[in-house]
Structure 1
Amino acid sequence: MTLTIWASLALVCMLGAMSPGPSLVVMAKHSLANSRLHGIVASWAHALGVGLYALITMLGLAVIFKQSPLLFTVIAYAGAGYLAWLGVKSLLSKGGVAAKLEAGQPASLGEAARDGAMISMLNPKLALFFIALFSQFVAVGTDLFSRSVIVLTPLLIDGLWYTLIAFLLSSPAIVDKLRHHGVWVDKLSGVVLIALAVRVVVTLQ
């Protein structure tokens, strides 16, 4: 794999990671409602999910997704259901972000890791991203080193991007500003997550 080809791969992965979506909502919520560490844990759990998608594509399973619309539809609906579940949880939250900040009762790191991993593994947008864009780079990497680079590049870019998000959103200055409006952070997150779930379902019709 040449440096030029790798740069193209890295650029595509950066654009994919930076595009707003449900993953950003979940990472932001954990960073704001819990702690910087929670945001980082969620970020790298999400990145592992991204790396797994890259590995699956690398192994040729993307062909199955292309040839089996039913399988892709099942994954898409499962992803929409998980997004809706997260959204309803946020809307029904009694204390919201502000209460968690005041009471010092963060979610567990296991919950942060679970949400990070699930939001990537059940995100049909991510599956489509790798099928439509990432798979074109698989043909140029036939040796073990190139294949490793192809898998690790999206994983590391995704993890580093959301780690940066976690650092920015968990800074004391931002937390102080959001402390008195924390309940609305939960409500807004819930609305966005449910809207994203509805959009997935609509696009499948």
Structure 2
Amino acid sequence: MLLSSWLSVAGICALGAMSPGPSLAVVMNNTVNHGRKAGILTAVGHGLGVTAYAAATALGLAVVIAQSALIFDVIRYLGAAFLLFIAYKTWVSTQQVKQQSEPSADQDKAIKTPGFISGLMIAALNPKMAIFFLALFSQFVQLDAGLGDKLILALTAGTIDTLWYLLVAWGLATPKVLNWLSLHQKKINQLFALVIALLAATIVFK
């Protein structure tokens, strides 16, 4: 694989990861409501989901999703439903932003698991990723490229996605930001809930 092709793919993946959308909203929501660990686990889960879609494209499986309107719509509607669920949980949440004190072992587990799962699910329930990677690979991957080259691109996409959302989670969870967020927790939760619900609506009606 040419270095220029790899750099082009990496740049496009970075732009795709940084574009605002449901994934960014969920990572921010988990970080604000449950702290840095939840944000980090959300980022890791989402990165694994992106890697899986990219790998599926390399193996030819994503073609099935892209060419089947039924499968595409089922995944799309499940994704919208999951976003609405997150919006509801956020709206009714009374949980405060975590301060500097360490949570108990049970609390820590309760924070980590939903964070990782929500990140993974948001990526997995986004069928547009299949189309994105099909278009991307068709432009920069040669027809005779080996499976190894394709998997390198898949890992590149997943790594870039994970690093971006790790940066988002880390930046939001600084002490000064958390202290400010804790003073406006209720309004912020309501805002996140509305934004996530609107994003779900755009998925359904787009």
Pair in the same fold by TM > 0.5: yes
Does the Cα contact within 8 Å between 2:9 and 2:136 map onto a contact in 1?
no
Q: Which residue of 2 aligns with 1:132?
A: 135
Task: Give CA-to-partner distance per residue, 1:148-168, whole Å, 9 cap, x none.
Answer: 211111110011111111110
Structure 1 position 189 matched with structure 2 position 192:
yes
Q: Which residue of 2 aligns with 1:57?
A: 57
Deviation at 1:20, TM superposition (A): 0.5
Amino acid at match of 1:15: L
Deviation at 1:139, TM superposition (A): 3.6
Residue segments in structure 2 that go unaligned for 5+ positions in a row: none
Does the Cα contact within 8 Å between 1:138 and 1:150 map onto a contact in 2?
no
* Aligned ranges 1:102-181 → 2 under 5 Å: 107-139=110-142, 142-181=145-184
Q: Give the Cα separation in 2 of the matches to 1:30 and 1:62.
A: 29
Q: TM-score if structure 1 supplies the norm length?
A: 0.89
Q: 1:126 to 1:187 in 2, by over 3 A?
A: farther
> 25-34 or 100-109, which moves further after superposition?
100-109
Q: Give the Cα separation in 2 of the matches to 1:179 and 1:141.
A: 54
Structure 1 position 30 matched with structure 2 position 33:
no
Q: Give the Cα separation in 2 of the matches to 1:156 and 1:141.
A: 25
Q: Give the Cα separation in 2 of the matches to 1:154 and 1:141.
A: 21
Does the Cα contact within 8 Å between 1:80 and 1:197 map onto a contact in 2?
yes
Q: Give the Cα separation in 2 of the matches to 1:162 and 1:39.
A: 8
Identity among equivalent positions (%) equals: 41
For the aligned residues, what is the CA RMSD? 2.1
Q: TM-score if structure 2 supplies the norm length?
A: 0.89
Q: Give the Cα separation in 2 of the matches to 1:129 and 1:185.
A: 32
Deviation at 1:5, TM superposition (A): 0.5
Q: Which residue of 1 aligns with 2:73?
A: 73
